[in-house]
């Protein structure tokens, strides 16, 4: 996959270093940075008969728009110094519609970047992830706080479970995998089974990647009572991986929200940048 346009979603409380980091990621692969600064509108007050609209609420919305415009000017001034090709757009929207609107914008980019620019706004981060993963058909790069991401990593971990989402993630990241010096296909407690992992778990995906010129090795890891996300995070750290590639939401979102799941945990606890694909 060649990345020509990267969408980076930020809140109005973005920091200069976060913007520069997004620009550096784009510059490293010669991509255009499409910056989207989003402000979620405050919900209207509900009175006794839900008929009265608060003057304070209207004033607050107007102040939000001014803050949004100010944030755009600051972002442009910073990005002008980086030399990267960029455009800046804004979105002032209701929380309930944000994931649809962000997802629609993401369809016209090759990748959505979710990093430090959303740390100060957990609700917007959640809406951005939902929109980008479920409504764009594009990969999402999640960068944990304090971490530096690259689209030209030398060491990559591919989290593999033989599922549809993992297969799609591997295909979407093929350019990254082929350019790496070392790709470790990582399986946690794999079982040899007909129609899924095969007689030798990991052999099929390793052969597929090798035919694309990927330098690949297979690691079968025992969980030993630990959660899958904990095993993957520990392995990525020990392997000094610069990126993890994985499928997202092999189960329904509702099931993961109620019972937990690897995707949900990795979104919250990833130890290295993660490229996710649903």
In tens, the pLDDT along 57-114 reads: 778 888 999 999 999 999 999 999 999 999 999 999 998 999 999 999 999 999 999 9
Mean pLDDT of 130-143: 94
Classify residue 187: in a domain, yes or no.
Answer: yes
Classify residue 147: in a domain, yes or no.
Answer: no
Q: Are residues 45 and 160 in the same domain?
A: no
Q: Supply the CATH number for residue 244's domain.
A: 3.40.50.620
Q: Are residues 128 and 11 in the same domain?
A: yes
Domain boundary, last residue among 89, 112, 142: 142
Contacts of 88 (CB under 8 A, 6+ apart): 35, 36, 37, 72, 75, 76, 79
Q: Which ranges of the chain would DSSP assign to H, the alpha helix?
A: 16-29, 55-80, 95-106, 122-135, 164-172, 174-179, 203-211, 228-238, 253-259, 262-269
Q: Are residues 256 and 166 in the same domain?
A: yes
pLDDT of residue 254: 47
In tens, the pLDDT along 152-210 reads: 999 999 999 998 999 999 999 999 999 999 999 999 998 876 666 656 788 999 999 99
Domain boundary, last residue among 120, 142, 164: 142
Q: Are residues 9 and 138 in the same domain?
A: yes
Classify residue 22: in a domain, yes or no.
Answer: yes
pLDDT of residue 194: 61
pLDDT of residue 198: 57
Q: Are residues 204 and 137 in the same domain?
A: no
Q: Are residues 164 and 270 in the same domain?
A: yes
Question: Are 142 and 268 within 8 A, CB to CB?
Answer: no
Distance separating alpha carbons of residues 278 and 259, to the nearest angstrom: 19
Question: What are the distances in angstroms from CA 133 to CA 28, 69, 192?
Answer: 24, 28, 30
Q: Are residues 22 and 90 in the same domain?
A: yes
Domain span at residue 132 reads 5-142
Classify residue 150: in a domain, yes or no.
Answer: no
* pLDDT surpasses 90 at 276: yes
Classify residue 202: in a domain, yes or no.
Answer: yes
Domain boundary, last residue among 142, 163, 191: 142
Classify residue 149: in a domain, yes or no.
Answer: no
Distance separating alpha carbons of residues 136 and 138, to the nearest angstrom: 5
Classify residue 30: in a domain, yes or no.
Answer: yes
Mean confidence (pLDDT) of the chain: 89
pLDDT band at 260; cut points 50, 70, 90 = very low
């Amino acid at each position: 996959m060649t990345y020509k346009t990267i969408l980076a979603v930020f809140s109005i409380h973005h920091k200069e270093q976060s913007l520069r980091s997004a620009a550096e990621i784009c510059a490293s692969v010669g991509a255009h940075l499409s910056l989207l600064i989003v402000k979620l509108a405050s919900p209207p007050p509900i009175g006794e008969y839900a008929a009265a609209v608060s003057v304070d609420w209207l004033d607050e919305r107007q102040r939000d728009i001014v803050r949004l415009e100010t944030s755009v000017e600051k972002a442009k001034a910073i990005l002008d110094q980086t030399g990267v090709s960029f455009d800046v757009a804004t979105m002032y929207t209701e929380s309930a519609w944000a994931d649809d609107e962000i997802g629609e914008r993401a369809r016209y980019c090759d990748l959505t970047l979710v990093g430090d620019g959303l740390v100060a706004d957990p609700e917007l981060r959640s809406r951005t992830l939902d929109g980008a993963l479920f409504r764009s058909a594009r990969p999402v790069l999640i960068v944990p706080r304090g971490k530096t991401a690259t689209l030209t990593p030398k060491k990559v971990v591919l989290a593999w479970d033989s599922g549809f989402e993992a297969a799609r993630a591997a295909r979407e990241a093929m350019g990254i995998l082929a350019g790496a010096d070392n790709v470790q296909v990582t399986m946690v407690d794999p079982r040899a089974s007909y129609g899924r992992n095969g007689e030798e778990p990991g052999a099929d995906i390793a052969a597929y990647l090798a035919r694309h010129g990927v330098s690949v090795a297979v690691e079968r890891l025992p969980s030993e009572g630990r959660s899958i996300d904990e095993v993957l995070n520990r392995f990525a750290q020990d392997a000094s991986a610069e990126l993890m590639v994985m499928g997202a939401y092999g189960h329904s979102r509702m099931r993961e929200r109620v019972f937990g799941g690897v995707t949900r945990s990795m979104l919250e606890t990833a130890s290295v940048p993660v490229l996710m694909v649903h």
